[in-house]
Structure 1
Amino acid sequence: MSNVGLLYVGAVLFINGLMLLGIVPGKAAAAMNLFVGGVQVVFPTLIILQSGGDAGTVLGASGLYLFGFTYLYVAWNQLTGAPGEGLGWFSLFVAGCAIVYGILQFTMFADPVFGVIWWSWAVLWFLFFLVLARGRDALTRTTGWFTLLLGVFTGAVPAMLLLAGAYRTGAVEGIVAAVLAVVLLALSWLLGRPRAAAPPPAAA
């Protein structure tokens, strides 16, 4: 994924997290999903067409479609009012693909940090599956917080490090990334727990 593309993945995840938390209306979030989703479909297509069949280039570009079609699907649902089950089952498919991309980051590209990032995205897409396809509405706020936090810590932050030439990866960095991912998931669960209803006022 390109550095600039990753930055805007972070932006759209941040917006979608706010949407799931009820802060940004769905139709207001649709524009960003359309913009970034379109870019994440057009650019990998151009990259593949110009790759000359190079397997590594095609592999690197292929993952972008997972994001592109997810964001376009989100925009479609928000603009048309379509039910979310289709997007939910698509998210399960994407979660499985993200696990494989994470393994490839460890084995083919020697990049443990992005291996962890891909696995974090796999967890996120699985949460989308649970909420949209399986009706686990109680997980909506947890998913919203996790989406928002991953937008910052798996999108914006690594993109800025890459753009500044300060990105580092290795075993130690991979462990730090894994610990951070677990902390973010736990924090999202805590923030997303249903708020207890206030007790009724005592009778006079």
Structure 2
Amino acid sequence: MGAVGLLYVGAVLVVNGVMLLGHVSPAGAAPLNLFVGGLQVVTPTYLIIAADGDQAQIALAAGLYYFGFTYLWVGINGIAGWPGEGLGWFSLVVAAAAVGFAAHSWLVVGDRTFAVIWLLWAVLWFGFFLLLARHEDHLTGAVGVLALGEGLLTAAVPAFLIITGWWSESLTTALVVAVLGVLLLAVSVPLGRTLSVPAPPAPTQPGAAPGAQ
């Protein structure tokens, strides 16, 4: 069931990436964020109940709430038009928690690939923090590319492979994901500039010559 939820996390990250690139409005992206956010709250609740006290399973499910709350918050803000500073600071908490879950995945669970994936999520959510809480607006396109790329690399593709039985956890898989993640980070800034919708020209004052200050 966790892999099914991860499949839709990939979808919402892609849509949110496209939104940050300016091709979808926040209100237009809101329904999917609400749907997936709700799913990411229901899913870990079910997994924790089904774990029947198994601490390892509970730990794996607990981190999903962070993402569910993120998507619900994005969806609500997209509809209500509320400011994003609170979501930005919450994203910093998520980024720090993701580092902890990465360590747990590597050291306790023994899943090296998802340890790498957790670290990539930490980078992305730290980007949300910079964008929303610190108002680093020049990073909007880069964070959009990261969200879109990680939606595929860390969520949709692994989820599909797990569901179909083609997933293989190994050090090689972890290295491949890590290399692709670093490459995505390296190209995020130039690709963000290329793929972002150009900002509309500033209106000129009546009677002013074009380009005049």
Pair 1:89 & 2:97 matched: no
Aligned counterpart, 2:171? 171
Aligned counterpart, 1:150? 150
Which amino acid is the alignment partner of residue 107 of structure 2? T
Whole-Å Cα distance in 2 between the matches of residues 135 and 170 of structure 1? 39
Question: Which ranges of 4 or more aligned residues in structure 1 deviate by more than 3 Å?
Answer: 193-197
- After superposition, give the CA deviation of every residue in 1:137-168 in whole Å (9 maximum; x if it has no partner): 00000000110011111111111111111111
Aligned counterpart, 1:13? 13
Once the two structures are TM-superposed, the CA of residue 71 in structure 1 deviates from its matched residue by 0.2
> Could you tell me the TM-score, scaled by structure 2's length?
0.88
SS at match of 2:126: helix
- After superposition, give the CA deviation of every residue in 1:5-60 in whole Å (9 maximum; x if it has no partner): 11000000000001101101111100000000001112212322343222112111
Which amino acid is the alignment partner of residue 174 of structure 2? G
Once the two structures are TM-superposed, the CA of residue 171 in structure 1 deviates from its matched residue by 1.8
Aligned counterpart, 2:120? 120
> Could you tell me the TM-score, scaled by structure 1's length?
0.92
Which amino acid is the alignment partner of residue 74 of structure 1? V
Which amino acid is the alignment partner of residue 121 of structure 2? W
Once the two structures are TM-superposed, the CA of residue 188 in structure 1 deviates from its matched residue by 1.2
Gaps of 5+ in 1: 198-204
Whole-Å Cα distance in 1 between the matches of residues 79 and 112 of structure 2? 38
Gaps of 5+ in 2: 200-213
Deviates more, 1:76-85 or 1:50-59: 50-59
Which amino acid is the alignment partner of residue 127 of structure 1? G
Once the two structures are TM-superposed, the CA of residue 109 in structure 1 deviates from its matched residue by 1.6
> Aligned Cα RMSD in Å?
1.9
Aligned counterpart, 1:53? 53
Whole-Å Cα distance in 2 between the matches of residues 48 and 164 of structure 1? 24
Whole-Å Cα distance in 2 between the matches of residues 43 and 165 of structure 1? 20
Aligned counterpart, 1:202? none
Once the two structures are TM-superposed, the CA of residue 96 in structure 1 deviates from its matched residue by 0.3
Whole-Å Cα distance in 1 between the matches of residues 190 and 169 of structure 2? 29
Deviates more, 1:63-72 or 1:188-197: 188-197
- After superposition, give the CA deviation of every residue in 1:78-116 in whole Å (9 maximum; x if it has no partner): 111110100000000000000111111111121111111
Pair 1:140 & 2:159 matched: no
Whole-Å Cα distance in 1 between the matches of residues 57 and 171 of structure 2? 25
Aligned pairs for 1:4-83 (under 5 A) are 4-83=4-83
How many residues are paired up?
198
SS at match of 2:63: helix
Whole-Å Cα distance in 2 between the matches of residues 2 and 121 of structure 1? 16
Aligned counterpart, 2:187? 187
Aligned counterpart, 2:208? none
Aligned residues with identical type, % of pairs = 52
Whole-Å Cα distance in 1 between the matches of residues 78 and 150 of structure 2? 21
